[in-house]
Chains A and B, each alone.
Chain A
């Protein structure tokens, strides 16, 4: 009796544990380290998730019926040990039966198609609110550039957007462009992917419902380091977002203590590819470094952004990202230290 009650308790606890494990995945309350498409947290992704459950039910039912029949046939009609060796009755076909299994799939296709079409138009042709934030996303081998035309900001690799809620929609509309080859913007919890194609402007939108960091990555093979073209979307509260925008709009910090490092930046090849606003560096081939230290990662998410990694990255980019287009800068140790110290001030 006691044992049974104990067991009942254990089963209940297990059920709760399972629910606790599954439910947050199914009904996401925020960003997760594993970017599951079944943990949607933005209107397009949630719509797709709902549709996918519907399709799973239909295909699951088809599977059960057909696989069930197959299993039955295999067991029921396998040749018996005491078989008399005579051929079974030959049946050549039946028009009625053929018609039945033609018409039923047609009906299923009609239902599936109408449901799908509705979702295509709902996501792709959604009316754009006037308050929406505009971002131009430019794909590069192998990093992301984010331009905010309304705010006059250029950022890289880490996209900041404001949070939305059902009462107060605050969507971000992204124009997708590419500077070189095809890429694809995919943050599974926020939306389906859309490709970035040179000479071909695409658009997609997201409206994340929770603050935090959503991860994703490039989903179209784009060359050697396609695997390390990671994407980080930071969803900020309105205050955080305003503060971030304000900081990004400032020119680079001018700290006389690190003037030597700045000199290295301006006199070496760095400035051919990188912009730091307020210096002579206006290159566009690599990421804008004006607010480098406001980012959590280096090399499009390949390494954490701290002075040690930064130094290592400048010295030998291949140690983090073999095949990255950033060349090893061949600086001596002193120059490296000075440059790292300078870059570390670019908050």
Chain B
């Protein structure tokens, strides 16, 4: 069985094709009880896409309300719930599950392992996350609040104290928020531990740390960061529950508690969280850009250093969310400097991607289109980030629509764009079928137009003095036309996301057969069949360089000679 299409020896699937077809109940049972990292990865991704649609719908409702001044589409109470739930959903129920989905599916495959280090913990983590998310959403039905039956959290995703105290947030909406996130937080920590343990202990023969794909390096960094950052959030939420039900006074300003302590707790979680979300986007870019440029990643050691460097620096920048809370001038200067320092490793990354593309033969298939947009958009997001790090200017821009535009540039322009690229890139591996290129291109261009219409324009009302979290605004402020344009862009993005969802479903059944290695790529997952067998590799693969499949395809000029 010397098969040229399966270049890594030992990856051959020696089991006969499955003949038995299961009924619906068996399939369901199989998915619910699975401990296979690939199935859990798929569950994470589907869960993330579900909440992308839900959170996106909330965003569209918000944009309808803001499209015109003094609009009465929604009451302030409903609006406040929607923007709170939109933020909470997109960060905790869409962003985090999406990145863990990628990590779960790909990390073991890329390091030549058969599964995660702790498969049962893996399943536990997913179901905790899923439970947390559903629990928060149940508040729409079950959280009796001030305004009658059903009251979702309405205190902002940052839930600043003391607005969350029982005096200002009666009912149970805030409890749903806190308890739901504590639950999903445990899931996240479980996943973090699992990924770190997997990467340290499950690598195949020859896969030294410095031969790991950058995707794996970044997920190692992210998971380590998760262990540090989720804990303060969980701690703060437990303290909040103590305040609300056991007479604690941590954040109860009426009884000598401190509102500022909540902010510190929240942002020492919240800022590294941004990197928890964006580093996986870098991870995706690190795999896609070299393959479509047909070149090895430029400056691998520099990329590793920059990634780990970003993680460390990101732990010292949290109070740049707090320039306006009245810190001393020295503290403001410190956090200005630490924030600007992030720009250095981030710049290194952008330059290395640029250098990877330089001199290559770039193929603009859909995944690479998304990566190109990612590079431009991440550049702009980084530069507006520099503007916000200038603390005096931040005194103006903080909590304005400029900030909203900035972080959506990061979250949508960089992270979601990279996730789309990643889904187009690995869909063939997961399903065995290609996603439709024509629909992919329509999806890409529509999304690009919608994105820029929305988020480029959104910077301007911020400069013109429009604060965030407001459900309406005066007609004479001059923000009306701009907001209308932003809303139109949002609708276009909505259509693009629906096209994406349609493309996924249609390609799953009717897509072109992909084969094992449709993109002519170089990392180990492309040596498996598509979809990979449940045990991934029949025998443990052996690697001697960063691009094992390159070595096999080019025995005359293998990588290991240069590393």
Contact = CB atoms under 8 A, between A and B. Distances in A.
Contact of A219 (B380, B391, B467): B467
9 contacts: A35-B465, A92-B300, A141-B168, A182-B163, A197-B260, A200-B325, A219-B400, A221-B163, A221-B469
B351 to A, nearest CB: 4
A127 B302 CA distance: 46
Interface stretch (B45-53, B74-82, B423-431): B74-82
Contact of A109 (B294, B341, B363, B393): B341
Interface string A74-111: 10011110010001111111100110011001100100
B348 A197 contact: no
B296 A90 contact: yes
A205 interface: no
Given A74-B362, A93-B301, A227-B472, A120 B160 contact: no
Interface of B: 75-77, 80, 154-156, 160-163, 167-168, 253-254, 256-260, 293-296, 298-302, 324-326, 329, 332-333, 336-337, 340-341, 343-344, 347-348, 350-352, 354-355, 357-364, 372, 375-376, 379-380, 383-384, 386-387, 389-400, 463-465, 467-474, 476-479, 554, 557, 559, 562-563
Given A186-B399, A323-B77, 6 more contacts: A59-B383, A93-B299, A180-B162, A194-B395, A221-B160, A322-B75
A154 interface: no
Given A93-B298, A218-B467, A221-B469, A66 B361 contact: no
A215 B474 CA distance: 11
A56 B396 CA distance: 15
A109 B399 contact: no
A77 B358 contact: yes
B479 to A, nearest CB: 8
Contacts of B361: 77-80, 83, 87-88
Interface stretch (A46-54, A259-267, A328-336, A339-347): A46-54
Contacts of A219: 324, 398-400, 467
A203 interface: yes
B163 A181 contact: yes
Contacts of A35: 464-465, 477
Contact of A124 (B295, B332, B384): B332
B478 A33 contact: yes
Contacts of B258: 199-200
A78 B364 contact: yes
A323 B259 contact: no
Interface string A147-174: 0000000000000000000000000000
B293 A77 contact: yes
B347 A105 contact: yes
A53 B334 CA distance: 22
Contact of A195 (B293, B324, B362, B391): B324
B163 A48 contact: no
Contacts of B161: 182
Contacts of B379: 63, 66-67, 70
Interface of A: 33-38, 45, 47-48, 51-52, 55-56, 59, 62-63, 66-67, 69-70, 73-74, 77-80, 83, 87-94, 97-98, 101-102, 105-106, 109, 112-113, 116-117, 119-121, 123-125, 141, 176, 180-182, 184, 186, 188, 191-195, 197-203, 215-228, 230, 322-323
A229 to B, nearest CB: 9
B299 to A, nearest CB: 4
Nearest to A194: B324
A45 to B, nearest CB: 8
Given A195-B325, A198-B259, A56 B387 contact: yes
A109 B344 CA distance: 8
Given A51-B390, A98-B348, A101-B348, A37 B160 contact: no
A220 B262 CA distance: 15
B351 A101 contact: yes
Contacts of A224: 76-77, 80, 154
B374 to A, nearest CB: 11
